[in-house]
Structure 1
Amino acid sequence: MLTPTIVWDEAGGGIALLDQTLLPGRSEVVLVRSTSELVDAIARLAVRGAPALGVAGALGVVLALDEAAREGWDPARLDAAITRVRTARPTAVNLAWGVDHVLSLRAQGRDAVLAAALRLAAADEAANRELSRLGADWLLDRIDRPRLRLLTHCNAGALATSAWGTALGVIRELHQRGRVEFVYADETRPLLQGARLTAYELAGEGIPHAVQVDGAAAATILGGRVDAAVVGADRIAANGDVANKIGTLGVALACHAAGIPFLVAAPWSTVDLATASGEQIAIEERDGAEVTAYGAVAVVPDGTPGHNPAFDVTPARWVSAIATERGVLEPAAGDSPSAHA
């Protein structure tokens, strides 16, 4: 049983986070009691994954209100703290969405904001379970095999959400039905979310799997070892373009070449109808040192910089389907999210 990713600790007066930078070696919960601590936790990926960031954003407003009351902040300082939380990572739309979702209740007081944030977390789990059911059904309707061979990229499981998961939620649903043969988990350079986190979840569920280097994904797919790829999303544009962890685009291209489904699993909160296409999505550029060093050990010559975009955008024409709790869309066939607003 996984330790919950993110919960409100009323007794402790803050957000209890499972520090994902320590997995799989250590399972450690940290208590975050200030907005500065939350922004740091988001930036260093102690909490990550679009749905989990949505919950973090909502609970971050509660932190800001508590901090303001505790330290006597004026309204301008409170607003600035909330803005820092809202903009801590630019690509995942759920973070700002979570803040905005509860901010309208600020005039009703801190308890009303907290209640709304807790409802948002519960709704995220319900959405994830429903989209997983729908995504599993969609795959089984199209793949004529008793058990499926799947590939996933990065981590879109319970660790990336309030509970259950999105892409890994689909895989868990299939596993519970006895319909999973094997899962290839891309390691996901440079921070190894696939190797550290996805494998941790798959092992915990007893799902047969292997971790492969990102560069092996295309050969695995084109070599006929995979029936479908299932990934999450950090932002989905109105036209169906999908922003997800860097390397996702290559997986989609390989699936297109192999003629197998490329399924995106994400709650509707990840759909950003205000963003017309992927060209308008801001791609987070992280510290190049994450690429040029492994821990404290340099792996490139002195003076060689690292190019480290955290995400890429897969055009809608290569997205077979997007499974949300509202239903399954097929962008490659012209079925865009904007048509379901």
Structure 2
Amino acid sequence: MAPLEAIIWHDGQLRIIDQLLLPFKTVYIDIKSVQEGWDAIQKMQVRGAPAIAIVGCLSIAAELAKESSIFNDCTSLHTFVCDSLAHLITARPTAVNMKAEALRLTEYSCSLLTTSQSVTEMMNSILAWCENLLKMDLATNKTLGDWGMQKILQLSKKDGEDGFSLITICNTGSLATAGYGTALGVVRSLHAIKKLKGLYMLETRPYMQGSRLSAYEAVVEGWPNATLICDGAVGALLSSSQVDAAVVGADCVAANGDTANKIGTYQLAVLCAAHHVKFFVCAPTSSINLKLSSGAGIPIEHRPALEMTSVAGVPVAAPGIACWNPAFDVTPARLITGIITEYGVFTPEKLEEEISSRI
């Protein structure tokens, strides 16, 4: 079965699944401008660090395709691209992929200024760059998924005779990427060789990306023994020896391997360590920021209290209660077994050395 398409780009038009409506409605919305892209990212109609970067860049491409005649020279086009990227970064500051791709696109646009070409030629080059980002993410995640699959197969429990049961948090599949997934890409690769015994998904409070999104993907894809659990049940599950490994995504990985991911990831890592369960972070190199020496430098986004005090618009908390609602936490490198990338699987201690030699 082909993966879900959460991001569709065709003939200069960008459409995304409105993830706020899942799993009950599958509705695509049009993104025609940078501001609409910013709004979709900030409101979490699109989420997942790779998908945020893709939609951000393609929102620039969509506006360029629609307003191609408004630029009189290459300098004004370059200014528009740079200003748009700076704005898009502010939508959700923790996810490093948007910053990384903004830097790359800014540098590329700058290089185009030094060549003798028309505004149309420069615009077409920028459009092609943005379109290629979608293709590259899909290829990167497939490679990452296969590396992760091979690593999981090396786990000694029963030699994998009956397959492997994994646990994850949040959503890291087709809905969070170009269409394959990072942590759920590993799940997908295991399933493809019939070595996926089961998948446990934390509901991922307060925004419920596990129950709304990962569970939705699991049902659509037909993954075996896909099981949703309450966030508070993870310790009890791990103590039962039913889980072979944890696979999680990453919004930002520091040079030392400290990883920011959806709130609740840190406690999952602590409990995995307590129960001797391998804990893997799945991160394309676009999610790794070697300029940050540790997780202490990762900015943590805080979300509105309403996301905690209501579910699907229904109030569930006492009126007037104060709320602390960080969207992410940082898992220290000492709790991470390995970081799965498109270049291989590396221990946190080796990450900076290995990635520096490849990018």
**TM-score normalised according to structure 2 size:** 0.88
1:7 pairs with 2:14: no
Alignment-mate amino acid for residue 36 of structure 2: E
Task: Report the equivalent of 1:110.
Answer: 123
Q: Deviations over 1:162-189 (max 9, x none)?
A: 0211101101111111111111110011
- 1:85 corresponds to which of 88, 103, 110: 88
Deviation at 1:71, TM superposition (A): 6.0
Amino acid at match of 2:299: A
The aligned residue for residue 138 of structure 1 is 151
Give CA deviations for 1:253-276 in whole Å, capped at 9, x if unaligned.
Answer: 111111111011121111111111
Q: Secondary structure at the match of 2:322?
A: coil
**Structure 1 unaligned blocks of 5 or more:** none
User: Which residue among 158, 164, 167 is the counterpart of 2:180?
Assistant: 164
Amino acid of the residue matched to residue 97 of structure 2? Answer: N
Query: Partners in 2 of 1:157 and 1:304 — Cα distance?
Result: 34
Letter in 2 for 1:302: P
Output the CA distance in 1 between the equivalents of 2:355 and 2:284.
Answer: 14
How far did 1:149 drift?
1.4
Shift in alpha-carbon separation, 1:62–1:103, aligned structure 2, 3 A: farther
Letter in structure 2 aligned against 1:101 = R
> What amino acid sits opposite 1:7 in the alignment?
I
Matches within 5 A, 1:214-225: 214-225=231-242
Q: Which amino acid aligns with 1:92?
A: A
- Partners of 1:175 and 1:159 lie apart in 2 by 18
Separation (CA, whole Å) in 1 of partners of 2:3 and 2:145: 18
Deviation at 1:19, TM superposition (A): 1.1
Q: Specify the code of the residue in structure 2 equivalent to 1:121.
A: L
Q: Residue type matched to 2:235 in 1?
A: A
Q: Which residue in the other structure is 2:352 paired with?
A: 337
1:325 and 2:342 aligned: yes
Give the drift of 1:113. 0.9
Cα deviations by residue, 1:24-77 (Å, 9 ceiling, x for unpaired): 111111111011111110011111111111212322332454566566796767
Identify the residue that residue 40 of structure 1 maps to in structure 2: 39
Q: Select 2:332's aligned residue among 297, 300, 315.
A: 315
What SS does the aligned partner of 1:269 have?
Answer: helix
Partner amino acid for 2:123?
Answer: R
Distance 1:138 1:79 in 2: 40
Matched to 2:261, the amino acid is N
Q: 1:149 and 2:162 equivalent?
A: no
- One-letter amino acid of the structure 2 residue matched with residue 85 of structure 1: L
Say whether residues 1:288 and 2:305 are aligned partners.
yes
Q: Is the 8 A contact 2:60 2:81 kept in 1?
A: no
Give distance in 2, aligned partners of 1:68 and 1:96. Answer: 25
Note closer, same or farther for the CA distance 1:205–1:63 as it changes in structure 2 (3 Å cut).
closer
Matched, 1:241 2:258: yes
Map 1:198-277 onto structure 2 (within 5 A). 198-207=214-223, 208-277=225-294
Answer whether contact 1:60 1:82 (CA < 8 A) is retained: no
Query: Is this contact kept in 2: 1:57–1:96, CA < 8 A?
Result: no
Bigger mean CA offset, 118-127 vs 292-301: 292-301
Write the distance in 1 (CA, Å) between the matches of 2:122 and 2:40.
Answer: 26
- Verify the 8 A CA contact 1:249 1:312 in the aligned structure 2: yes
CA distance in 2: counterparts of 1:109 and 1:241, whole angstroms:
39
Letter in 2 for 1:336: L
Contact 1:64–1:82 (8 Å) recurs in 2: no
**Alpha-carbon distance between aligned partners in 2 of 1:47 and 1:81, rounded to the nearest angstrom:** 18
Is residue 180 of structure 1 aligned with residue 180 of structure 2?
Answer: no
Matches of 1:290 and 1:224, distance apart in 2 = 33
Give aligned pairs, total: 337
How far 1:293 moved relative to its partner?
A: 1.3
Paired letter, 2:94: T
Bigger shift: residues 319-328 or 13-22: 13-22
Query: Could you tell me which amino acid in structure 1 is paired with residue 281 of structure 2?
Result: V
Match of 2:16 in 1: 17
Q: Structure 1 stretch 296-305 or stretch 261-270: which is displaced more?
A: 296-305
User: Distance in 1 between the 2:89 and 2:211 partners?
Assistant: 29
Of 76-85 and 232-241, deviating more is: 76-85
Distance 1:340 1:300 in 2: 45
What is the one-letter code of the residue matched to 2:276?
G
Alignment match, 1:193 = 209
Q: Which amino acid aligns with 1:325?
A: E
Query: CA RMSD for the aligned pairs?
Result: 2.0
Matches of 1:63 and 1:37, distance apart in 2: 10
Answer yes or no: is the 8 Å Cα contact 1:222–1:254 preserved in 2: no
8 Å contact from structure 1 (residues 330, 336) kept in 2: yes
Q: 1:42 to 1:66 in 2, by over 3 A?
A: same
